[in-house]
Amino acid sequence: MKKDVLLPLFLLLLLGSVSCKKKENKGTGINIFSINDDKKLGLDMYNYVQDSGEYVVLDPVQYPEPYKYTNELVTKIIHSDDILHRDDFPWTVTLLKDDSILNAFATPGGYIYIYTGLIKYLDCEDHFAGVLGHEIAHADRRHSTQQLTKQYGLQFMLDLVLGKRQGALSNVTQSLITLSFGREAEAEADAYSVKYLCDMGNIQADGAAGFFKKLIAKGQSGNTPAFLSTHPSPESRVENIQNAAIASGCDTTQYCSNAYNTRLKNLLP
């Protein structure tokens, strides 16, 4: 077959593949990776975090109540009707010991990592749930594989999923900690955090704004989450989150359940 025939045929097949992927993504945008690819990559990263020695992972056996509390909160969040992959992803929580880092991040496939520094910095459950909702949205809307593909290139990511670049897991995992998503992805994660908490009830739907407001008030940067450096400004993000909650008729009462302190914050090392 001639090259001038092969090229259009190849492009037709590629477009067909992308179309199928888009349907699988259920409206989250084009992503060349499958749900199983997200899960495999997330599991590889999870195993790396557990075994590499680069991270201080809190033992669930030694700290059962903090893990139980956090998993219960995640379970409540992902029961929102707006979650696409509730039954597709394992939604696994890992607590990381580092009081100097005010961050949480999610890897593909629903693996969520939370630093003790963030937990100790936050004032109440409402704010914690807001940040968790933001990270859950990144995983559920599959932003990570989209952004990592932009950063590393399609072939690199395909090789990583196929297990051909296991030595690169350290760099890619580190990239996810400081990964700066685009403005559209961050706005989507903010908006879905509000939607998830709105569905929960008895919690401040715009809880994520409380965390942002504290960071702004204290003028902190450096070890703060990468999503604060994304345009628009943090002040605009706070306003957008609060307006989204009000426009949707969500509960904006701050509850600050004491369980956040007694079951989580005060039990950490």
Q: How far apart are the first and last CA of the chain?
A: 67
Question: Closest Cα partner for 19 from 11, 61, 153?
Answer: 11
Beta bridge partners of 94: 113
Residue-level pLDDT at 124:
94
What are the tens digits of pLDDT across the range 20-34? Answer: 344 344 444 567 778
Q: What does the alpha-carbon distance between residue 69 and residue 217 come to, in Å, rounded to a whole number?
A: 28
Check residue 224 and give its pLDDT.
54
Helices (H), 162-254: 169-177, 183-200, 207-218, 234-247
Locate the domains of the chain by residue range: 28-267
Gap between the Cα atoms of 251 and 255, Å rounded: 10
Give the C-alpha separation, 177 to 187, whole Å.
18
Q: What is the pLDDT of residues 232-256, one digit of tens each?
A: 677 888 999 999 999 999 999 999 9
pLDDT over threshold 70, residue 43: yes
Token pair listed for 16: 């067909």
- In the predicted model, what is the mean pLDDT of residues 124-150? 91
| Token pair in block for residue 47 | 């195993």
